[in-house]
Amino acid sequence: MTIAVISFVKNFSSPSNSRYFLSDIAGFREVTNEYISNYEGYAIVHDYWMICRDIFMHAGGLPKKIIDLDEFRVLVSRNTKDRLKREKVDIIEEINKTFPINYNVCQSYKKVFYGEVDVDIETIELFHETLRNYYVELCRHAHINGEFHRFIEIEVPCQLICSLISSQGLPVDNERISRFREQARHDYYTSLRDISDTFDVPLERPTNNDVERYAKAKGVDFDEYSFDFVLNFMPQVRDYTEAVLALRELDLTRGVLDSIAVKDSRVHPVLDTQGSRTSRISVRSPFLQSLAKRYRSILCAKDGFELCYVDFDQFEVGIMAALSGDSELLDLYSEQDMYETFREKHLNGEGSRQAAKILFLAYAYGMKLNNLPIVGQKFGVSRSTIRDAFKKFRRYEIWKQEVLRRFGKTGYVSTSFGNRYYFKGSKPSNKDRLSAISQVVQGEGSLIFKKTLIQLSKLDGIEMLLPMHDALLFQHSSSTAPIAVTDVFIQTMTDHFEGRIKGKASVEGFAV
């Protein structure tokens, strides 16, 4: 495959005067953004998010096969913390750590890149060789870690999709933004006061340490369960953690609304293809995925278009059923509303649908069977009912144990196409074991969703606006578009599992 190295010196005050440099088999040269936009081969670049919008604005398109070295670096890393701290990492310094012999070249280039000195062509050409060598090193790690083909076949096309969404921008309703800012501030401080009064905690936004201290005082074992698992499933503190999650959502909503300039008709977020441990796409600057549902109507369609939001139905349950081959799970997934069916048939009609969903997902992601009755009692489901209900998933239990045995033996778990999760030390901890099952199920979901976006990119008449975990907001001008998009969701999942299950998706409400 043809590979070029691209670098740039961005002019922040006048983007049209930014300079671009490319080297490939034809040699090193300065090129225009139009040349880059039309480049047919793979292009290695760092900090691509800084220039993709400029290229799109001035050239009307984007290069099809960008290899962003920071995205690639995070993908091949065995350290999950690299994803969390990536925004604080200077990729030039990371390259320098890999090739310390090129220290002077890296430092000279860094001064050029950050505008501390005038553009020096010789320095940039030398750094291109370093970038090429760094790419080769990442490829070596990617092959060792079983990630290379997934990166090229899935992540690179998704990079183009996400870059186009970011560059084109999302239409926003400026009047609503102004009005919602005041409402969000009011809702936030009201929620903060309610948490303080209800749970007798300080009148301040609870940190992770605050939540952990509160949960430990209620008997929650953080050596057994991860922080996210406690936030979502532990019954001893569920009322408190639900309030904390709602408060955090409001806090993020405030930040999103405050960060959007009212004078602009569009917002241009950065879409991160490696936004989580399971490689879900995340949206930042601003964090539009974090908008509370009642504030999402700030996003609107352009003139002549309508918004539509399509979501996978019982996505994770379908994945669990397909991966394990459990007949009980397969039967549940085939139902129109599997959580209501689970409540009626497996829980003898006890509790609510929401309780059934929480119980099922807690079980699915590794809660021990002897702890599930504690959760159930919180929701009015008897201990005996719960014990009997979860004994039926024998094949799923066997599958989980098979996954965990391989995890302990090989040191990692993976999806059907890369996306590995490694444990540290001589054996996996209880938290690692919980994360292993989550990695396989949610990682497979991330893969299916990205495959879906790639298929949708070939569909005429729609414009993708915002990927939301396992759902997509898009705009369209045709009455048949929602059906066509839903069909792609369903067919992609069905094909992914070679017909072992039939995918499920539907049009959902995006905003309240």
pLDDT digits (tens, 9 = 90+) for 6-38: 999 999 888 889 999 999 999 999 999 999 999
- Overall fold of domain 3-145: Nucleotidyltransferase; domain 5 (3.30.420)
Tokens of 426: 């001589």
**Cα(475)–Cα(466) distance, rounded to whole angstroms?**
10
Residue ranges per structural domain of the chain: 3-145, 173-264, 317-440
pLDDT score, position 263: 83
**Cα(216)–Cα(267) distance, rounded to whole angstroms?**
41
Residue 485 contacts residue 310 (beta carbons within 8 Å): yes
Phi, psi of 9 (to 5 degrees): -125, 105
pTM, full prediction: 0.93
β-strand pairing of 66-68 with 418-422: unpaired
Tokens of 12: 């922040």
Q: Within 13 Å of residue 431, how many CA atoms lie on the same side as its CB?
A: 13
pLDDT score, position 481: 97
Give me the amino acid identity at 182.
E
Query: 180-210 burial, b for 16+ CB within 10 Å, e for fewer?
Result: bbeebeebbeebbeebeeeeebeeeebeeee
Q: Which of 277, 256, 131, 119 is nearest to 181 (CA)?
A: 256
**Cα(98)–Cα(94) distance, rounded to whole angstroms?**
7
Give strand pairing partners of 4: 43
pLDDT score, position 19: 96
Of 83 and 53, the structure prediction assigns the larger pLDDT to 53
Average pLDDT over the chain, rounded to an integer = 92
pLDDT digits (tens, 9 = 90+) for 237-275: 888 999 999 999 999 999 999 999 888 889 999 999 998
Q: Which of 425, 400, 397, 401 is nearest to 411 (CA)?
A: 425
pLDDT score, position 362: 83
**Cα(207)–Cα(189) distance, rounded to whole angstroms?**
16
pLDDT score, position 375: 77
β-strand pairing of 471-476 with 3-9: unpaired
Give the CATH number of domain 317-440; options: 3.30.70, 2.70.98, 3.40.50, 1.10.150.
1.10.150
Q: What is the DSSP letter of 391?
A: T
Q: How far is CA 81 from CA 52, 88, 90, in A?
A: 26, 12, 15
Tokens of 482: 């929602």
pLDDT score, position 395: 96
Q: Which of 481, 486, 401, 416 is nearest to 448 (CA)?
A: 416
**Cα(8)–Cα(21) distance, rounded to whole angstroms?**
6
Return the percentage of the chain with pLDDT > 70, whole number.
Answer: 100
Q: What is the DSSP letter of 262?
A: T
Omega cis (within 30) before 286: yes
H, E, C per residue of 190-240: HHHHHHHHHHCCCCCCCCHHHHHHHHHHCCCCCCCCCHHHHHHHCHHHHHH
**With 90 as the cut, is the pLDDT of residue 434 above it?**
no
Which of the residue ranges 54-58, 129-133, 373-377, 445-449 would you say has the lowest mean pLDDT?
A: 373-377
**Cα(77)–Cα(420) distance, rounded to whole angstroms?**
9
Q: Which of 42, 48, 504 is nearest to 274 (CA)?
A: 48
**Cα(470)–Cα(18) distance, rounded to whole angstroms?**
37
Task: Band the pLDDT of 293: cuts 50, 70, 90.
Answer: very high
pLDDT score, position 467: 96
pLDDT digits (tens, 9 = 90+) for 168-201: 999 999 999 999 999 999 999 999 999 999 999 9
Q: Which of 335, 381, 394, 323 is nearest to 355 (CA)?
A: 381
